[in-house]
C-alpha cells in the first residue's frame, strides 16, 4: 500500500511539473516526401528563439534519366497547441541543379533552378528525443525549367533532437 501511495504521489508531482515543451535547439533527420521527384531529404533544424527556427533540407536524386540536387532553407514560426503538439508556418527558398543523362530527349534544359517556398505543418515532440512532423510545402519556380509551375510537396519527417 505504501508503494502505491508513493508511486501515485510521484506521478502526480510529475504531472503538475510537466510544462509545454519548447522546440529543440537542434534536430536532424529525414524528410520523406515527393518533393518534385527528390523523394527523401536530409533535414536539419536550428532554434533561433523560443518560437522561431530555421530548417535546411538537402535532397539528391540519381535516376536513370537524370540526376539532381536541391538545397532548401526555411524560416519558421512555431506555436504550441498542447503538450508537445505544435503547428508551424514559414517561408523560404530552394536552389538546385539537374542534368539529363545522354540519350534522353526532352524540351527541358539542364541547369540551375531557384524556387520560392511556403511551409505549414504539424509536429509532435515526444518525451524521448524524437520529433515527428507532417508538412505541406508549395514551391513556385522562379529560375530554370525544372520548377516552372507550382509544385505541391507533402512530407513526413522524423528527426532526432539534441
For residue 18, the model assigns a pLDDT of 38
CATH classification at residue 25: 2.40.160.20
pLDDT per residue over 61-70, tens digit each?
877 777 888 9
Mean pLDDT of the 97-119 span: 79
Rounded Cα distance between 65 and 85, Å, is 41
pLDDT per residue over 38-87, tens digit each?
678 999 999 999 999 999 999 988 777 778 889 999 999 999 999 999 99
Measured at the CA of 68, the angle between CA 76 and CA 97, to 5 degrees, comes to 75
Q: Is 115 exposed, middle or buried (CB count within 10 Å of its CB: 0-12, 13-18, 19+)?
A: buried
Q: Which domain holds residue 45?
A: 2-161
Work out how many domains the chain is built from and give that number.
1
Are 147 and 36 spatial neighbours (Cβ–Cβ below 8 Å)?
yes
**8-state DSSP, 110:** P
pLDDT band at 117 (very low <50, low <70, confident <90, very high): very high
Share of the chain above pLDDT 90, in %: 53
Amino acid at each position: 500500500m505504501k508503494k502505491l501511495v508513493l508511486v501515485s504521489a510521484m506521478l502526480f508531482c510529475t504531472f503538475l511539473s510537466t510544462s509545454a515543451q519548447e522546440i529543440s535547439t537542434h534536430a536532424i533527420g529525414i524528410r520523406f516526401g515527393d518533393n518534385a521527384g527528390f523523394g527523401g531529404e536530409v533535414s536539419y533544424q536550428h532554434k533561433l528563439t523560443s518560437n522561431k527556427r530555421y530548417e535546411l533540407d538537402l535532397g539528391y536524386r540519381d535516376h536513370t534519366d537524370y540526376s539532381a540536387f536541391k538545397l532548401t532553407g526555411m524560416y519558421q514560426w512555431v506555436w504550441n497547441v498542447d503538450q508537445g503538439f505544435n503547428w508551424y508556418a514559414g517561408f523560404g527558398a530552394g536552389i538546385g541543379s539537374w542534368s539529363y543523362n545522354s540519350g534522353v530527349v526532352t524540351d527541358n534544359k539542364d541547369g540551375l533552378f531557384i524556387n520560392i517556398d511556403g511551409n505549414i505543418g504539424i509536429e509532435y515532440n515526444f518525451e524521448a528525443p524524437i520529433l515527428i512532423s507532417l508538412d505541406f510545402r508549395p514551391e513556385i519556380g522562379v529560375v530554370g525549367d525544372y520548377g516552372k509551375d507550382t509544385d505541391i510537396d507533402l512530407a513526413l519527417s522524423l528527426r532526432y533532437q539534441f
